Structure 1
Amino acid sequence: METSAQGITPPAAVYEIAGRRFEVGARGFADAVAEAHAAHQRPRCMCLVVGVEMYVARLGGGYIVKRMPGTGSHHAPDCPSYEPPAEFSGLGQVLGSAIIEDPAAGETTLKLDFPLTKMPGRSTIPPTGSEGDSVSSTGTRLSLRGLLHYLWDQAELTRWHPGFAGKRTWATVRRHLLHAAEHKIARGEALLARLYVPEPFSIEERDAINSRRLAQWQSAVPSPGKPQQLMLLICEVKEIVPARYGCKAIVKHIPDQAFAIDERLYRRLGRRFEAELALWGASDDVHMVMIATFGVCSAGLPAIHELSLMPVTAQWLPIKNSFEHQLVGQLVADRRSFIKGIRYHLQGGRGLATAVLTDSGDAVMPMFIGLAEEGKLPKAEAVANAVGMGAAAAWIWRPGVGPMPPFPPMQRARSLIRCA
């Protein structure tokens, strides 16, 4: 059992393919995965002695073994394929309705409730609301915030292990987001074709980076008499300020090109995201991530039509308020392994696991921050049933009622049989 300050090292994933077992990256693994894809065979993840069925999807020029839809919680807590039960986040509200996975085709269809086109002369201003979202949603379609949460989750940027320290740069974030967008279909088109995530800026590569950016933006330049195609932007915001005409968003890694924001959207932005902006302004180690739809005028200047904001920690882990910031910061400082919960479309009063510890033994440990009123947090019995791996009581912190409770100790899962 490893409980040192270095944290618990997760076991390498082992898959059974056509009767043979391979550790990821081992000799023959890539060929076996390619053959399984061609033969429509289902590998099994051997994180548990009985194994858990997976499937093979094409990724870029190669292949990747992925978990079957809805089976993430069937894996061992320290398995790379583990995913908390949908009940612990807002994923359960959108999976199967707004997010439709097709393992046979290796594609995921996303239903969006915001436009990716703009009619000439029309302006899109999201309605006001109590939640820090961009639009009101029933959960049957993804809002801008829901899409950002989904891509962040798929990119595994909600996961943390001590070994990630110092390695999660913007270049890493960008690469994972682009991989996460592959084989995702939105409004009948490949999502990746509409998605722009800025490259890390380099003075030496400035001209080449600008050329690639302008080439990608050409699809968002309007054609006379036709709806304008909008692009999706995911970036880190440097500042959002008044400009000589209207307002503008300054995006990190694009120092020579601001994004225009009209004054009505700018005013609404301050009301809708007051809490997020206050958290960003109060903490130097908080980044602000923005997702937005934008078009490009004939002069090549980008203008934002709709946006949503998401504060993240220095490790790019999403947070909603100062309490989450404090909890996540302590987990990172204590070198714990965990998965950060995200809301998608869940309203503020609904129970959400702020984080799920994956290094606390045979059963995962959901961690909740909430009020003391009954009904705000799930009972321990409901948590244990949702986990399905033993009677683990939830860790609960009620700010204002008492200090942050101590964390459960780190320990290796003992009831799991590893097969290498």
Structure 2
Amino acid sequence: MRRFRLGDVECDEEDEAFQGLVLQAHGSKVRLLCLCRPSGIPMYIADIGSQLVVKRMPLTGGDHDPTCPSHEPPYELTGLGPLVNTAIKLDASAGIASLKLDFPLSKQTGSRNGIATTHAADSVKSEARKLSLRSLLHLLWHEGGLTEWTSRWTGRRHWWQVYHHLSQAARMMEIRGESLGERLYIPEPFRADDKAAIEQRRAGKLSGLYQPSEGRKKLMLLIGEIKEFGSARSGKQLVVKHMPGFRLHLEEAGWRALQRRFETELRLWESGQDGHLIAISTVAGSAGGLATVNEIALMAVTGQWLPMESVSEQRLLDHLARSTSKSVKGLRFNLPRDQPIANAILPDLKPKPMALYIVPAGADATFETTLRDMIAARPDLSAWVWRVAEGDLPSLPGLDEENYRSTGPSRSPS
């Protein structure tokens, strides 16, 4: 349970006076302080679907006490570590993360779409000091809290939560002095009885696509769940859920490159029963009102909306999804697949948190050496390693059968 202070007033988050404290902090635009540390850690108030939620500031999870629910696992165990203070810089006073992107948000008028799926390492050339398209999606997923899970949230995470948490995360980031939220469109949950208003808001958000300025076209970012890749005379039409009647055109060369680069993600999506396929793309508009994909990256997620990059990782996440113990999914960001990461972390495990690592079949000696160094560098964490070539998923110490549940009528994560 977290305890907070506003001015001279302190209370726990389950106290009757807590909501009043949150309302006061939100109305006066004053930071609540999390008292897991004596000096207090600044927090901000997010409006998540008309519900006020206390959230940690971007990239401050490591400042919280390890026993605090706002604490985050070590960044250096995932691809986020190399990006902090390089591609991602936090303005502590404003609580805003400034981002350096490795892809353009404008293009020369008349130029062809530069589909960036052809690069081997990522959707764009992977540069550690800048965020690729995939890395930006990972960052938003991470800061939105969508990497966290416990079975108590079963049945409580839907596109409504994904939309609101991603939107809030984007509002806490900026690119070249402009709010990321202004350049990012995420389709709001569609409701037939509000169809006209939703389409009007969408048209207003995307209107800048069709207004070239000084010989350049503005590009917008779009994050959505793929419903299908529809047929077209050339290439494909991307059908995005919650955007009925709206189509994104992907050129034939881009479609071929997408199938090569994201073969694993596409197969995970096609073979799963309850998984989802998330796309992040830069979108261009034409004078005729058409919307086309300029660059694109894909991410497969489980039925709990947890990112996965292999069948082995999918099996691990399905196992963790049944446990009441909290798990945090590690993300790769810019790192290539031949480098190890902590695929997940169990932060509440006793006597100390546990990092979970998967060694894929065919991993070389360099992979194993790097993994040993990662484990040795964090003696404060126990380590669980699954070497896929050696057999099936090993048991997870500390996750006994009594920790599992099939349902969990509890509130969704914030």
| Counterpart selection for 2:118 from 117, 122, 128 | 128
Rate the CA distance shift 1:59–1:335 in 2: closer, same or farther, 3 A.
Answer: closer
Work out the CA distance in 1 between the residues paired with 2:38 and 2:103. 40
Q: Which residue of 2 aligns with 1:317?
A: 306
The structural deviation recorded for 1:276 is 1.3
User: Does the C-alpha gap of structure 1 residues 113 and 406 become closer, same or farther in structure 2, counting only changes over 3 Å?
Assistant: same
Counterpart-to-counterpart distance in 2, 1:161 and 1:364: 15
| Paired residues of 1:33 and 1:63 also in contact (CA < 8 A) | no
The structure with the largest helix share of the pair is 2
Q: Deviations over 1:207-236 (max 9, x none)?
A: 221111111111111336531111110000
2:139 alignment partner, SS class: helix
> What is the deviation of 1:346?
0.9
Aligned to 1:167: 156
Q: Which runs of 4+ in 1 moved over 6 A?
A: none
In structure 1, the residue matched to 2:104 is 115
SS at match of 2:388: coil
Which of 205, 218, 221 aligns to 2:194? It is: 205
Q: Paired residue for 1:376, among 367, 374, 377?
A: 367
Residue identity over aligned pairs, in percent, reads 34
Q: Quick one: distance in 2 between partners of 1:52 and 1:364?
A: 24
**Partners of 2:58 and 2:101 in 1: CA distance:** 23
Q: 1:73 to 1:165 in 2, by over 3 A?
A: farther
| Structure 1, unaligned runs of 5 or more | 1-11, 412-420
Q: TM-score, normalised by structure 2?
A: 0.86
Query: Aligned match of 2:267 in 262, 265, 278?
Result: 278
Deviation at 1:189, TM superposition (A): 1.1
Partner of residue 351, structure 1: 340
Say yes or no: does 1:76 pair with 2:66: yes
Q: Secondary structure at the match of 2:266?
A: helix
Instruction: Return the letter of the residue paired with 1:216.
Output: K
Q: Residue type of the partner of 1:144?
A: L
Describe the superposition over 1:289-321 as per-residue Cα deviations: whole angstroms up to 9, x where unpaired.
000010222333211100000000000000001
Counterpart secondary structure, 1:105: coil
Task: Measure the CA separation in 1 of the matches of 2:71 and 2:323.
Answer: 21
| Aligned equivalent of 2:405 | none
| SS of alignment partner, residue 192 of structure 2 | coil
Q: Is the 8 A contact 1:259 1:302 kept in 2?
A: yes
Equivalent position to 1:268, from 257, 282, 285: 257
Alpha-carbon contact 1:126-1:134 (below 8 Å) kept: yes
SS of alignment partner, residue 311 of structure 1: strand
Aligned residues: 390
- Give the deviation of 1:241 after TM superposition: 3.6
**Residue 98 (1) aligns with residue 87 (2):** yes
* 1:172-206 C-alpha deviation (Å, 9 max, x unpaired): 10000001111311133111011111122222222
Offset at residue 278 of structure 1 (A):
1.5
- How far did 1:341 drift? 0.4
Distance 1:224 1:76 in 2: 50
Q: Could you tell me which amino acid in structure 1 is paired with residue 166 of structure 2?
A: L
For the pair 1:306 / 2:279, whether they are aligned, the reply is: no
Find out whether 1:21 has 2:10 as its counterpart. yes
- After TM superposition, the structure 1 stretch with the greater mean CA deviation from structure 2, 277-286 or 341-350, is 277-286
Which of 316, 322, 333 in structure 2 is aligned with 1:333? 322
Contact 2:2 2:34 in 1 (8 A): no
Identify the residue that residue 42 of structure 2 maps to in structure 1.
55
Selected match of 1:395 from 384, 396, 407? 384
Q: Which residue of 1 aligns with 2:410?
A: none
| Equivalent position amino acid for 1:247 in 2 | K
Q: Which runs of 5+ in 2 are unaligned?
A: 401-414
